[in-house]
Amino acid sequence: MIGTRARATMWIVQIAAILIAAIVIIPFLMILLNSFKGIREAALFRLSLPTEWVFSNYVKVLSTSHIARGFANSLFICGSVVVLGNLFGAMAAFLIQRRGGRLKLLYTTFILGLILPVSIIPTIKLMMQLGIHNTYLGIILFYTATALPFTVFLLTGFLKSIPREMDEAALVEGSSFFRLFFQIIMPLISPALITVTIVVTVNTWNDFFAPFYLISDSRKWTIILQIFSFMSQYQTNWGLVFAFMVIVVSPVLIIYLVLQKHILAGLTAGSVKG
Amino acid sequence: MVSIQRSSQKSYPLYFGLPAIAVFATLFLVPTITSFYYSLTNWNIHARTTEFIGLENFRRLFADKKLVAAIWHTLVYAGSVTVLRNTFGLIIAMMLNMKIRGRNVLRTVIFLPFVIAPIVIGYLFTALYHPGHGLINQLLRGCGLSFMAIDWLNDPRYALMSTILVDIWRTTGFAMVIFLAGLQLIPKELYESADLDGAGAWSRFRHVTFPLLASSLTVNMVISLIGTMKVFVMILVLTNGGPGYATQVFNTYIMSAFSIGRYGYATAANLLLFVMITVIGMPVLFVLRRREVEL
């Protein structure tokens, strides 16, 4: 009796879960199918195969937009922020965790950055005064500043699990402080560095807010700003828009499917143990 | 012993913190602090000089019913998305925590929208919400629910709700994954002893599952509140604050003041958002600090 009831529950849950997954998948399917349709047919947004397969959408997107340049800019900016965020964050976290004392105040200051919104207009003004507005350096340093609170928070927590005796042993054996940090500590905290890398990459790659305010030079636009400008221009031609979306989303999708275990673990690492 | 500790304390040179402090102080703390000053000035694109005008910007902000609406919309948006995202996230997490088939694939799929850029999701939904041919209205008409096939984004009565639904669709998977991780930490023995006591499904949820998820729920809720109060691009591409100002939120209001060159005024609005997030964000700080003690 209980057995049949439990089995019925399982079936209901199974079907409900598949329906929920369908709600997520179907819009993406709609993009893919309609990206191969002509302008009139694509505007009907049907979940049907194209009556005639149109590949010219893709050709036109690749020839008229500056997707390659956008990807290159995103990759360069993201890569730089990952390197600087990990390096500067790890150095600061190592100092804060090992020395403690008054540096706890510094820790709290960084943590504030996890919560507070940036003041974007004074940031623009400051960047102009420093001569880094509208430059790669400016946006890289801006992203690094916004990534540091999370980085310092996560790495300080992680460093607690690495005993101080390790440092002392290395220093007693005559290792320099730099060697201790780069050859012993950095490899030991690499799981946390991977988490930082994933969180920072997802946040930076997908961000619209910062480049929208900080970069007006279209040659320096990230892929996200290319999307914004392309859509403003072609939003009435849905076949073209969907082809554009497929091209822009594909690399992210492939990386997500390959690394999904790490990405899921990484993106939730900061909030689970709470 | 003491001397070893002292020498090791000193062997962590302070300059190791310098790069992080320099970048964070210059590009985060300085603009934050100067924003207090700029918000008290008439700084704008037309005036040659920037003059101190006291609280005039704030007086004008509160006299503008568009800003009052933006505050209200931001709160409604943040509150609704937070409550619904976490409710659905919890329900789906409990479903996927059962022994159903393909649950890893289902989890990967449901989380997927979270890694896609919000701007792409926004444009995708302008297609899905299309009043004539959009997939959502196609589906509703197909099910004989034509009366529900509304003009999602252009009708001021529904526009805000429609933007909220998009963010729920996008982020429920994130809440789900956090709850799943929390669920897996609950010892099975607790459920076994609940079964021995003859507890029903609801009672198991109320007395075992929910209390043990309380801490991840708290963190989840507050992180979600802070994120959604900063909402910008989603509103920008879905409705651009319209129709009228039916979906105007803080960040779209700030952007429009900025785009017509009212810099001091926009900074003052940004400062109001800052205050609002601080008031609601303090619990996060509290939770994080408590966690730090536990470590």
HEC string of chain A?
CHHHHHHHHHHHHHHHHHHHHHHHHHHHHHHHHHCCCCHHHHCCCCCCCCCCCCCHHHHHHHHHCCHHHHHHHHHHHHHHHHHHHHHHHHHHHHHHHHHCCCHHHHHHHHHHHHHCCCCHHHHHHHHHHHCCCCCHHHHHHHHHHHHHHHHHHHHHHHHCCCCHHHHHHHHHCCCCHHHHHHHHHHHHCHHHHHHHHHHHHHHHHHCCHHHHHHCCCHHHCCHHHHHHHHHHHHCCCHHHHHHHHHHHHHHHHHHHHHHHHHHHHHHHHHHHCC
A263 CB neighbours in chain B (<8 A) are 115
The CATH number that domain A65-234 falls under is 1.10.3720.10
| pLDDT at residue B187, as a whole number | 82
Which residue among B17, B35, B124 sits closest to A31, beta carbon to beta carbon? B124
Q: Which residues in chain A come in under a pLDDT of 50? A: 272-274
| pLDDT at residue A27, as a whole number | 94
Average pLDDT over residues B69-74: 94
CA distance to partner chain B, nearest, from residue A171 (Å) = 9
Inter-chain touch A168–B8, beta carbons under 8 Å = yes
| pLDDT at residue B295, as a whole number | 39
DSSP reduced 3-state for B41: strand
pTM of model > 0.95: no
The answer to whether B47 faces chain A, any CB pair under 8 Å, is no
Helix, strand, coil percent content, chain B, rounded in steps of 5: 75, 0, 25
B98 CB neighbours in chain A (<8 A) are 10, 13
Give CA–CA dist B186/B193, Å, rounded. 13
B9 CB neighbours in chain A (<8 A) are 98-99
**What is the ipTM for the molecules in this complex?**
0.89
| pLDDT at residue A210, as a whole number | 93
| pLDDT at residue B294, as a whole number | 47
Q: What is the mean pLDDT of chain B?
A: 86
A125 CB neighbours in chain B (<8 A) are 31, 34, 38, 263
Q: Give residue B47's pLDDT band: very low, low, confident or very high (50, 70, 90).
A: confident
Average pLDDT over residues B242-269: 91
B176: pLDDT strictly greater than 50 = yes
| pLDDT at residue B280, as a whole number | 83
Can you give the residue ranges of every domain in chain A? 2-54, 65-234
Q: Containing H/E element for B257?
A: helix B250-259
Residue B276, burial from CB neighbour count under 10 angstroms (0-12, 13-18, 19+): middle
B75: pLDDT strictly greater than 60 = yes
CB atoms within 10 A of CB B243: 15
Give CA–CA dist B224/B119, Å, rounded. 18
Retrieve residue B112's tokens. 């997927």
Which amino acid, B32?
T
Average pLDDT over residues B239-244: 88
Tell me which of B271, B288, B289, B295 to substitute to probe the interface with A (most A C-beta atoms closer than 10 Å): B288
- Is the distance from CB of A171 to CB of A177 less than 8 angstroms? yes
Q: What distance separates the 2 farthest-apart alpha carbons in chain A?
A: 76
Which residue among B112, B119, B220 sits closest to A228, beta carbon to beta carbon? B119
| pLDDT at residue A52, as a whole number | 84
Which residue among A21, A117, A242 sits closest to B110, beta carbon to beta carbon? A21
Residue A14 sits at the vertex; the CA angle it makes with A12 and A18, to the nearest 5 degrees, is: 115
B9: pLDDT strictly greater than 70 = no
B234: pLDDT strictly greater than 90 = yes
Inter-chain touch B292–A177, beta carbons under 8 Å = no
- Is the distance from CB of A160 to CB of B295 less than 8 angstroms? yes
CA distance to partner chain B, nearest, from residue A53 (Å) = 20
Closest CA to B126 of B149, B146, B147, B154: B154
Which residue among B16, B125, B133 sits closest to A44, beta carbon to beta carbon? B133
φ, ψ (nearest 5 deg) of residue B277: -70, -35
Give CA–CA dist B232/A213, Å, rounded. 12
Inter-chain touch B177–A267, beta carbons under 8 Å = yes
**CA quadruple B231, A106, B219, A156: dihedral, nearest 10:** 120
Retrieve residue B235's tokens. 């509103």
Which residue among B21, B273, B287 sits closest to A117, beta carbon to beta carbon? B273
Tell me which of B6, B7, B9, B16 to substitute to probe the interface with A (most A C-beta atoms closer than 10 Å): B16
Asked whether the CA dihedral B75, B27, A222, A148 is positive or negative, the reply is negative
Average pLDDT over residues B200-214: 81
Q: Give residue B204's pLDDT band: very low, low, confident or very high (50, 70, 90).
A: confident
Region of A80 (left: φ > 0; alpha: ψ -120 to 50; beta: rest) is alpha
Residue B75 sits at the vertex; the CA angle it makes with B71 and B80, to the nearest 5 degrees, is: 150
Inter-chain touch A123–B219, beta carbons under 8 Å = no
Give CA–CA dist A157/A168, Å, rounded. 20
A185 CB neighbours in chain B (<8 A) are none
B173 CB neighbours in chain A (<8 A) are 24
Average pLDDT over residues B230-246: 91
Average pLDDT over residues B81-109: 92
- Chain B from 94 to 113: CB within 8 A of any A CB: 95-96, 98-101, 103, 105-113
Inter-chain touch B119–A227, beta carbons under 8 Å = yes
In chain B, the domains with their CATH numbers are 66-248+274-294 (1.10.3720.10)
